[in-house]
Structure 1
Amino acid sequence: MSIITNNIIPGNHGRVFGTNAKEDVDLETIETKLLEIDGIKEVAINKNIFPREFTVYSTKIIDIREVETKVKSAGFHAIPKENLDI
């Protein structure tokens, strides 16, 4: 695996994750939990598609396992959807 595959890379691209959370309150809980991680500057939630997706933007390299663990602590799953195209 590579640094790009296993991490969220800082910048304007972010990393997209799918989730099994459906309700707005659950998605807000995920956003709040993720913003607790040092280096995450923004979480953008896409409520217009199913399954729901969120994009995580960071100011430093963050391991995707850290995101998955944090979302799991809220009772949901986070699955990386795509790799960053550089």
Structure 2
Amino acid sequence: MSFLSKNVVPDTRGRIFTTNAETMDDLAEIKRQLLKMKGIDEVSIDHKKYPKELVVRTSKMVSVENIQKEVGKLGFDIIPKGIFAI
């Protein structure tokens, strides 16, 4: 795995993740949990896609593994889809 695939780096495009959470309440809970993490500035949810997608934007480097651990505490999975949102 490359440096970019293991981390979310600061930029305006963010990093796309998919999740197995389906309800708006669950997605909002994931967003709240992620925004508590240092370095994560914004989380956008695309609830129209399946599986649901989140775009995570950061102000400093945050590891994908740490993001997955935080979401895992809520009982959900989150998987990086691509390096940059297009």
Task: Give the TM interval when normalised to the shorter protein.
Answer: over 0.9
- Whole-Å separation in 2 of the counterparts to 1:84 and 1:47: 19
The one-character-per-residue Cα deviations of 1:1-54 (angstroms, maximum 9, x if unpaired) are 221110001011111000000000000000000011100000000001111010
Is 1:78 paired with 2:47?
Answer: no
Considering only aligned residues, what root-mean-square deviation do their CA atoms show, in Å?
A: 1.1
2:33 counterpart letter in structure 1: K
Larger CA deviation: 2-11 vs 23-32: 2-11
SS of the residue aligned with 2:82?
Answer: coil
SS of the residue aligned with 1:18?
Answer: strand
Match of 2:33 in 1: 33
1:54 counterpart letter in structure 2: L
In structure 2, runs of 5+ residues without a counterpart are none
| Percent of aligned pairs with the same amino acid | 35
- Whole-Å separation in 1 of the counterparts to 2:84 and 2:11: 11
Match of 1:46 in 2: 46
Aligned length: 85
TM-score by length of 1: 0.94
